Structure 1
């Protein structure tokens, strides 16, 4: 039996990190619960103080193919290299210089969204760029 999963990030600003990953992956913020037009309406109805409205966020693939990303607020900053990271395949179906150009173009777009470029690598015909999201989490474009 296969199980579904979500990827969870710790963050200082869950809303902003969710917006970043929506822009990178083509995801959307999860809809508010049934019966509420907005998350703010739901959180108000539940009595959650406004200063806690950014404690959690979740974004999902609108087509349902990719895993949900859940983002939770934590008080401490990221201090070490990730032991796990996302590989975002932006060059699917391309080979050689066409793939390299596509990955580099996507890296430029993602840097404009707030990411940091760390390094480029290639091996056995593959090409990737290692990056950090605005909260410092490493990920690769390939």
Structure 2
């Protein structure tokens, strides 16, 4: 039998404290020190933000999906994604491309955090 392991998601960043604050606000997490965020319910993974000397230069190979439209479809889902986007932009997020539903996927909205890390409103 495999051993269950906890997962921590680590972000490389130039300003860890600033990026940590963004993600705490975005997800409703609480700060753990100045460079980590934790889910107050204990259900989600810990997020850790580490300072690195180099800046971001290419697209992320892994990204977070922020589940803003779970269980919703069509216009109701789009409205939920747009409302969450409107909440995150004043925190420093950047809006990306809206991907409309197709035969395989529901609509999602590409975004970036304050240092350009991609994430999706899903």
Give TM-score, length-normalised by structure 2: 0.91
In 2, Cα distance between equivalents of 1:98 and 1:74: 40
In 1, Cα distance between equivalents of 2:74 and 2:119: 22
Structure-1 residue corresponding to 2:81: 103
- Runs of 5+ consecutive residues of structure 1 not aligned to the other structure: 33-55
3-state SS of 1:87 partner: strand
Q: Between Structure 1 and Structure 2, whose CA radius of gyration is higher?
A: 1
In 1, Cα distance between equivalents of 2:98 and 2:69: 14
1:62-81 Cα deviation digits (max 9, x unpaired): 00011000000111110110
Of 34, 56, 68, the residue aligned with 2:46 is 68
Q: CA deviation at 1:93?
A: 2.4
- Runs of 5+ consecutive residues of structure 2 not aligned to the other structure: none
Q: CA deviation at 1:111?
A: 1.1
Question: RMSD of the alignment, in Å?
Answer: 1.3
